């Protein structure tokens, strides 16, 4: 037989995040590798979904999502960022932020188009770009605050550059782009007539009094920005697959068609549950996210310092990248495995977030865990530090 698997598989290597979860189970460790929050789903969201099933909302929905959910997204966006969004024409509900972003890439990019990606990056972003035959071009950010320069953007610009991807707050760095930085990007995007894809899935996870700034809100940006977000993280419903994009009506129909082709629709009753949450949860619910997760961030960063490691304290999201150059091993993977075998805590080796070897002295911990589990992991990290002194 001469049949074989298609070429695309070469680009989609088994994610290191999944690999570390498998290793973690093997060694009976605490899994701080996967970005899965194990916290309670808001009861009102659960109730809304159950009610929808009982009410018979179990069929395919309109290709761009149920009216109730699009209305609720527009209302929430207005309250949170002041942005006016037309729920009829400017929102596409899809299978998670992942589905929305993938559909947007399919709808707006051609083979060979170059997309500027800030590094360290979230692996799905680059793999999805490559899968649509676009070409990621990397701009490296510098720790501890993950800064970049206008010069670095100019350096990667070619006549093939079509877009920039911004993930704020970012995975894995926790980077929250400041107004000054977004002005640099918007000036660059407007001058060179580029699309902006944003991934704002961690919009409510910001620390130390910072505010999330949607790039679409800057002058000249609304019409060129495909703003992507979802509720996976905010409501701890990663398995529900509810996300969306907000963009100018010129782009939304095409994005919706691709979302339809790839996923048909997001799960109908779960759309209703999320709509209930968006309409009824109070501003306090969203404020508490930052307060609660900042405590978790401080707990793990302190444990890492105590163990003699150097965390780059995140400004947002729920991951911390940590310098592990002092741990034995010739690569990030070996160092992360050493940590797993001796401390019993799984993390994701830094190479997963860079296109070259730049991540070999880094590893990423996810701190979206119940306090008891996080405490246990932190105690293990602290005793690992004592053993190595």
Is 214 a binder of ligand PLP (CB under 6 A)? Answer: no
- Nearest Cα neighbor of 306 from 382, 198, 215 is 382
CA distance 67 to 72: 8
Looking at the Cβ atoms of 35 and 256, the one nearer to ligand PLP is 35
Q: Which DSSP state fits 318? A: S
Neighbours of 172 (CB within 10 A): 28
Segment 57-86, which members bind ligand PLP (CB under 6 A)? none
Q: Given candidates 33, 167, 290, 363, which one binds ligand PLP under the rule CB under 6 A? A: 167
CB within 8 Å of 44: residues ≥ 6 apart? 276, 277, 280, 281
Residues 199, 203, 276, 360: which binds ligand PLP (CB under 6 A)?
199
Site string for ligand PLP, 124-163 (x = CB under 6 A): ----------------------------------------
Burial tier of 9 (Cβ tally within 10 Å: 0-12, 13-18, 19+): exposed
Q: Which of residues 25-54 bind ligand PLP (CB under 6 A)?
A: 35
For 302, the 3-state DSSP assignment is helix
Of the candidate residues 201, 304, 313, 322, the single one contacting ligand PLP (CB under 6 A):
201
Rule CB under 6 A: say whether 171 interacts with ligand PLP. Answer: yes
Q: How far is the CB of 46 from ligand PLP (least distance, A)?
A: 17
Among candidates 21, 46, 17, which has minimal Cα distance to 231? 46
CB of 96 to ligand PLP, least distance (A): 3
- Kindly compute the dihedral angle of the four CA atoms of residues 193, 199, 203, 207, in this order, to the nearest 10 degrees: -90
Pairing of strands 310-312, 319-323: antiparallel
Q: How far is the CB of 1 from ligand PLP (least distance, A)?
A: 36
Does residue 238 bind ligand PLP (CB under 6 A)? yes
98 binds ligand PLP (CB under 6 A): yes
* Least spacing, CB of residue 36 vs ligand PLP, in Å: 8
Query: Least distance (Å) from ligand PLP to the CB of residue 122?
Result: 4
Which of 55, 262 has the CB closer to ligand PLP? 262
Nearest Cα neighbor of 87 from 99, 98, 75 is: 75
Tell me how far, at minimum, the Cβ of 384 lies from ligand PLP, in Å: 26
In the chain, where do the E strands start and end?
A: 30-31, 91-94, 114-119, 135-140, 161-167, 195-199, 225-230, 243-246, 310-312, 319-323, 345-346, 348-349, 362-366
Residue of 150, 124, 126 whose CA lies nearest to 138: 126
d(CA 386, CA 69): 51
Nearer to ligand PLP, 106 or 122 (CB): 122
Q: In this chain, which of 243, 267, 277, 344 binds ligand PLP, going by CB under 6 A?
A: 243
**Site for ligand PLP (CB under 6 A): how many residues?**
13
For the beta carbon of residue 78, count every other beta carbon within 10 angstroms. Answer: 12
Alpha carbon separation from 43 to 84, 132, 184, 280, 369 (Å, rounded): 28, 38, 41, 11, 18
Window of 39-47, 92-100, 276-284, 371-379 that interacts with ligand PLP by CB under 6 A: 92-100
Give the one residue of 118, 122, 188, 235 binding ligand PLP; rule: CB under 6 A: 122
Separation between Cα atoms, residue 196 and residue 227, nearest integer Å: 8
d(CA 98, CA 38): 20
Q: Which is nearer to ligand PLP, 232 or 252 (CB)?
A: 232
Are residues 65 and 244 in contact, defined by beta-carbon separation less than 8 angstroms?
yes
- From the list 91-99, 111-119, 132-140, 281-289, the region that binds ligand PLP by CB under 6 A is 91-99
Which residue, 96 or 350, is less far from ligand PLP as judged by CB?
96
Looking at 62-70, 211-219, 230-238, 250-258, which segment touches ligand PLP (CB under 6 A)?
A: 230-238
Binder of ligand PLP out of 29, 48, 96, 277 (CB under 6 A): 96
Shortest-Cβ-distance residue relative to ligand PLP: 96
Interface residues with ligand PLP (CB under 6 A)?
35, 96-98, 122, 167, 171, 199, 201, 230, 232, 238, 243
């Amino acid at each position: 037989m001469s049949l074989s698997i298609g070429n695309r598989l070469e680009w989609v290597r088994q994610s290191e995040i999944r690999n570390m979860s498998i290793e973690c189970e093997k060694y009976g460790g605490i899994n701080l590798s996967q970005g899965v929050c194990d916290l309670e789903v808001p009861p009102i969201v659960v109730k809304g979904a159950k009610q929808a099933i009982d009410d018979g909302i179990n069929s395919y929905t309109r290709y761009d999502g149920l009216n109730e959910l699009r209305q609720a997204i527009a209302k929430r966006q207005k309250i949170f960022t002041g942005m006016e969004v037309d729920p009829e024409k400017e929102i596409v509900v899809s299978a998670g932020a992942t589905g929305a972003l993938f559909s947007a890439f399919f709808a707006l990019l051609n083979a060979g188009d170059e997309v500027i990606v800030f590094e360290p990056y979230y692996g799905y972003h680059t793999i999805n770009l490559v899968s649509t035959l676009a070409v990621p071009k990397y701009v490296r950010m510098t720790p501890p605050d993950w800064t970049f320069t206008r010069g670095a953007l100019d350096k990667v610009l070619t006549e093939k550059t079509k877009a920039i991807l911004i993930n704020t707050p970012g995975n894995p760095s926790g980077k929250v782009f400041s107004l000054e930085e977004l002005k640099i990007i918007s000036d660059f995007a407007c001058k060179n007539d580029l699309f902006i894809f944003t991934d704002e899935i961690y919009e409510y996870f910001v620390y130390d009094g910072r505010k999330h700034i949607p790039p679409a809100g800057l002058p000249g940006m609304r019409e060129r920005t495909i703003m992507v977000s979802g509720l996976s993280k905010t409501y701890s419903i990663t398995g529900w697959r509810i996300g969306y994009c907000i963009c100018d009506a010129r782009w939304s129909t095409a994005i919706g068609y691709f979302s339809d082709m790839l996923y048909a629709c997001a799960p109908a009753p779960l759309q209703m549950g999320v709509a209930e949450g968006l309409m009824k949860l109070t501003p306090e619910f969203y404020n508490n996210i930052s307060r609660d997760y900042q405590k978790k961030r401080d707990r793990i960063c302190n444990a890492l310092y105590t163990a003699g490691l150097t965390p780059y304290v995140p400004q947002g999201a729920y991951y911390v990248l940590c310098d592990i150059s002092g741990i034995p091993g010739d690569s990030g993977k070996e160092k992360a495995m050493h940590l797993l075998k001796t401390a019993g805590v799984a993390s994701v080796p830094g190479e997963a977030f860079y296109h070259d070897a730049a991540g070999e002295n880094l590893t990423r911990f996810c701190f979206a865990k119940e306090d008891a589990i996080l405490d246990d992991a932190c105690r293990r990290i602290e005793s690992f530090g004592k053993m190595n002194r």
